[in-house]
Amino acid sequence: MKPIGVDFTSAWLFLVCLGCAASPRPLAPGRAESEPAALGATASACGSADVSRLRFGLVVLGSGGPRSFGRAASGYVVVVGGRPRLLIDAGPGTFLRLGEMELELGALDTVLLTHLHIDHAGELPGFVKARDLAGDGPMTFRIAGPTAAGPYPSTTTFVERLFGAQGAFAYLPSFRNVLRFDAIELAGSAASEPQPVLDGAGLSVKAIAVDHGDVPAVAYRVEHAGHSLVVSGDLASKNDNLVTLATGADLLVYDTSVLDPPGSTEALYDLHTPPARIGEVATRAQVRTLLLSHLTARVEDHANEVMSSVQAGFRGEVRFAHDCLTLELAAP
């Protein structure tokens, strides 16, 4: 799949950090943020971020994994025309980051869940209430995510158990405004072709199933005005589905939770992608920039070897994510 109308000879990625607070382990003066020491930039707090000038961008709310070690868990906001439009995952800590960065939620009514692990979906109720309080009048939330398998409910059931008549937060649909929920279910296993999620209002969103052990999971591609970004969610990358989805993308945000074997627990390699494979996938997909996210403390502790392993297979720009990082995809 190729993004619509992308001119790879003239387009580039502008990356800036807006409103980041001082870090307990700040970067050395003049050091490029893409160097391994960027892992020291896990902000303990975020300041207000003015995203109004971003034509098409990504805000990293949370760059961490399931354990608590100074990063919020997975969460990203897609900005279009200076306004937040999509939320991709809502892990613990992302609600706090939204407030710290003072992101305006008036145009954000679509949530893309890569899978239903707590570190990717645990703060959905807080986001819904915050969005409810940010506007007046009825609103509809589109919430996309995978179908059911094993102990994991479908996205429809998940939303119903949260906000339905007998749900844990049944009060929310009539707390302030009248809320409706439109659940969009996507094949979370076996499917090897991209699935349409959204197409309209200047945005195109597609998804593809990815391999995350027995967990139904999907990755997302968002396109706008000839530019594209892909968020992998969690995956082992034992198949080439992510290559299919990410081909030609300006930005690929990749699950980076383990070391190359045998550096991490063996069972984790059925759930997450080793650095060497990350570099291989990024090269095969011919992406322009690779952002390593969903980081763990173990990855932080071995930042140099992780970066070296990825760069051995991928010659494009590679960066580590941190909370509060804001990235713009734009033509010169």
pLDDT, tens digit, for every residue of 98-113? 989 999 888 898 999 9
Average of per-residue pLDDT across 66-87: 93
Question: Could you read off the pLDDT of 213-261 as tens digits, one per residue?
Answer: 999 999 999 999 999 999 999 999 999 999 999 999 999 999 999 999 9
Which pLDDT belongs to residue 136?
Answer: 85
Average of per-residue pLDDT across 79-107: 93
Residue 14 pLDDT exceeds 60: no
Helix (H) or strand (E) holding 161: helix 155-163
Average of per-residue pLDDT across 29-49: 47
Helix (H) or strand (E) holding 283: helix 275-285
Average of per-residue pLDDT across 203-216: 96
Residue 143 pLDDT exceeds 90: yes
Which pLDDT belongs to residue 19?
Answer: 42
Question: Could you read off the pLDDT of 274-313 as tens digits, one per residue?
Answer: 999 999 999 999 999 999 999 999 999 999 999 999 999 9
Total-model pTM: 0.87
Residue 65 pLDDT exceeds 70: yes
Which pLDDT belongs to residue 200?
Answer: 87
Position 18 confidence tier, pLDDT thresholds 50, 70, 90: very low
Q: Which of 11-20, 66-75, 209-218 has the highest mean pLDDT?
A: 209-218
What value does the mean pLDDT of the chain take? 86
Residue 57 pLDDT exceeds 50: yes
C-alpha distances in Å from residue 127, one per residue of 123, 228, 308 = 6, 25, 37
Residue 28 pLDDT exceeds 50: no
Beta strand 179-186 pairing with 139-146: parallel
Question: Could you read off the pLDDT of 163-194 as tens digits, one per residue?
Answer: 999 999 999 998 888 999 999 999 988 888 99
- Three-state DSSP state, 304: helix
Judged on CB neighbours under 10 Å (0-12, 13-18, 19+), 199 is: exposed
Residue with tokens 């807080």: 126
Residue 159 pLDDT exceeds 50: yes
Helix (H) or strand (E) holding 78: strand 75-80
Name residue 205's beta-bridge partners: 198, 222
Give, in words, the CATH class of 12-19+51-330: alpha beta
